[in-house]
Amino acid sequence: MTTTHAQVASDHDAVIMHSVPVGTSHERAAHVDEHVRARFLTPDDADWTNDGAATWTAGHISGLTYSHLAGSDHLVLHNRGSRDLGVLSTPELPGTDGTEFTHLPAGSSMDLPAAEFHILQAERSEGRPVLVGQIVEGRDPQTDEPQFMLDGPGPGEVDWSDRDPDDLFWKPGDIDFGVPVAPSFVFADPMAHGVHHTRIDGEVAVHNRGDGPIAVLTVGADGPLDLVVADPGESVPVPPGDAVCYVQAPRTDDSPTLLGVMWFSAGESMPTVLPVPTRRDHLDHHYLTPWSADWDCGYPDQIHLDAEAAGVTYQYRAGAETMTIRNTGDDAIAVLYNREHERAVAEVAPHSRMTFPVCADADTGQVFSVVGERVDSLPGRSATFSTSGAVIPGTSGKPGTATNYGSVVIMLGTVVYSAIPKKNLYLAWSDRRRWLRKSR
């Protein structure tokens, strides 16, 4: 599989992702040829009806990761498994109108069209479509994170060497896997590697927001099930079931490097001595949040940053029900705002933008506070072995000094205060064109 730096555009902005080439909707249409139609259920098939579920047979999926631009409907699937997949994206279920089909060959990545539901299928079996999972867009109101519901592989279904050809991670087939004596594990701080997890209605995903690859090794009651490698910016959906997930960084001096362990029993997440941080932990470690210990310390205790120099701008049209904050700089930012009567935090990656809801007739100020990453954070302490061989849990470190760029306040559909530069639509398009010229 050839790996490139794929550039995925979303309106005026783009997200840089380390992945195989990403296809577009035009390429999707071109690839739905008769050979593909014969292998997958497509929207023009007579079986694609409101009662189509009766014709499905169940299957399994492995090696799937995704990239999701928070606050947008941009979702990219990366198929690192050994089997081709097909995706039916439909605006509304059980309705089938407006459904689009995406072919996702093994070893490829593809952006999905905007839709509320995405149905994942493997190749037909005895003429019947094979259902392997479903994605529901924007299921988590706090993050707009999609919810993945997948049927994972069974024991013996995965070619381990194919998943990790460079032998970066600990897996079945390695000389130190499945031996009577435990391997010489090395423990690393998950916060330092940008790793955290989310849980939406019981469905779990592990997110890689660091600078290097990670891997999730899943082991069930009957043995190892899957190894999924995620590049920076990607996430790994974890299939449900009783299992243990070993979240890893690449080996250190040939020793397996563990970032955390997740244990699931009867649908519940069980405590472990190597916990993987939650999204709340991740945000609090990197930014000022409403639940931070220093939330009420006030502006004098924060470092004020120059929004214009950092490329942080906003766009709002009077009376509109949405406003956009753009981050054209090289550092991540976060936006604190009210969503459905509660305070929410959204992370905006470098060279991307995010759109936020606005109540245009609200007679109280709606505040959108933009903060930068903390500075001088103290590193965490990794887990260690005691003299008796027990694991001593590590610590995640101490968050550093908070930073901020300023706020935008909107009331009655009008901006009443702003410490963030405003950029109109024409200038935003100009920035977009300049970015594209530089990227070529």
User: pLDDT band at 410, cuts 50/70/90?
Assistant: very high
Average confidence (pLDDT) over 88-100: 83
236 and 161 housed in the same domain: yes
268 and 287 housed in the same domain: no
Q: Is 192 left (phi over 0), alpha (psi -120 to 50) or beta?
A: alpha
Average confidence (pLDDT) over 411-423: 93
Strand-pair category, 195-200 with 109-112: unpaired
433 and 325 housed in the same domain: yes
Range of the domain at 197: 152-277
Check whether 54 has a pLDDT greater than 70: no
29 and 104 housed in the same domain: yes
Q: Which tokens hold the place of 42?
A: 């497509």
Check whether 32 has a pLDDT greater than 80: no
Per-residue DSSP letters for 374-409? -BSPBPPB--EE-TTSPEEP-B--B--B-EE-EEEE
Check whether 315 has a pLDDT greater than 90: yes
H-helix or E-strand spanning residue 25: helix 25-31
What are the residues facing 262 on neighbouring strands?
A: 245
Domain end (from 101, 136, 151): 151
CA–CA distance from 421 to each of 303, 313, 321, 325, 414 (Å)? 18, 5, 19, 10, 15
User: pLDDT band at 23, cuts 50/70/90?
Assistant: low
Residue 418: CB atoms within 10 Å: 16
Query: What does the pLDDT read at residue 300?
Result: 67
CATH of the domain at 264: 2.60.40
Check whether 343 has a pLDDT greater than 60: yes
Q: Are 120 and 113 in contact (CB under 8 A)?
A: no
Query: What does the pLDDT read at residue 230?
Result: 96
Average confidence (pLDDT) over 85-90: 93
1 and 140 housed in the same domain: yes
What CA–CA distance (Å, rounded) separates 388 from 391? 9
Domain end (from 251, 277, 303): 277
295 and 399 housed in the same domain: yes
Reference 365, options 325, 328, 418, 327; nearest CA is: 418
Find the Cα–Cα–Cα–Cα dihedral 239, 245, 249, 255, rounded to 10°: -140
Average confidence (pLDDT) over 362-384: 88
This prediction's pTM: 0.82
User: pLDDT band at 35, cuts 50/70/90?
Assistant: confident
What CA–CA distance (Å, rounded) separates 395 from 282? 13
Query: What does the pLDDT read at residue 216?
Result: 97
435 and 403 housed in the same domain: yes
Residues 6+ apart with CB under 8 A from 249: 188, 193, 212, 214, 257, 258, 259
237 and 286 housed in the same domain: no
Average confidence (pLDDT) over 413-435: 72
Query: What does the pLDDT read at residue 7?
Result: 31
Kindly report the CA angle at 310 between 307 and 316, in degrees rounded to 5? 50
Contacts 24+ apart (CB under 8 A), 160-167: 160/224, 160/227, 162/82, 163/63, 163/80, 163/227, 163/228, 163/229, 164/215, 164/227, 164/229, 167/251
Residue 410, SS3 per DSSP: strand
**% the chain with pLDDT above 70:** 85
CA–CA distance from 285 to each of 6, 279, 400 (Å)? 29, 10, 8
H-helix or E-strand spanning residue 28: helix 25-31
291 and 392 housed in the same domain: yes
Taking only the tens place, the pLDDT of each residue in 114-137 is 888 999 999 999 989 999 999 998
Over the range 318-335, which residues count as b (16 or more CB within 10 Å of their CB) and which as e?
Answer: eeeeebbbbbbbeebbbb
Length of the chain: 440
User: pLDDT band at 22, cuts 50/70/90?
Assistant: low
Over the range 86-108, which residues count as b (16 or more CB within 10 Å of their CB) and which as e?
Answer: bbbbbeeeeeeeebbbbbbbebb
Mean pLDDT score across all residues of the chain: 84
Check whether 2 has a pLDDT greater than 80: no
Taking only the tens place, the pLDDT of each residue in 151-171 is 899 888 998 988 999 999 999
120 and 203 housed in the same domain: no
327 and 412 housed in the same domain: yes
Check whether 434 has a pLDDT greater than 70: no
Average confidence (pLDDT) over 387-416: 88
Residues 6+ apart with CB under 8 A from 253: 186
Taking only the tens place, the pLDDT of each residue in 202-250 is 899 999 998 899 999 999 988 999 999 999 999 999 998 899 999 999 9
User: pLDDT band at 423, cuts 50/70/90?
Assistant: confident
How many alpha carbons lie under 13 Å from residue 201 in its C-beta half-sphere? Answer: 11
Higher pLDDT, 92 or 411: 411
Average confidence (pLDDT) over 245-258: 96
Average confidence (pLDDT) over 337-342: 83
Domain end (from 277, 312, 331): 277
Check whether 371 has a pLDDT greater than 70: yes
What CA–CA distance (Å, rounded) separates 43 from 41? 7
137 and 2 housed in the same domain: yes
Higher pLDDT, 436 or 415: 415
- How many domains are there within the chain? 3
What are the residues facing 338 on neighbouring strands?
A: 343
Q: Is 430 left (phi over 0), alpha (psi -120 to 50) or beta?
A: alpha
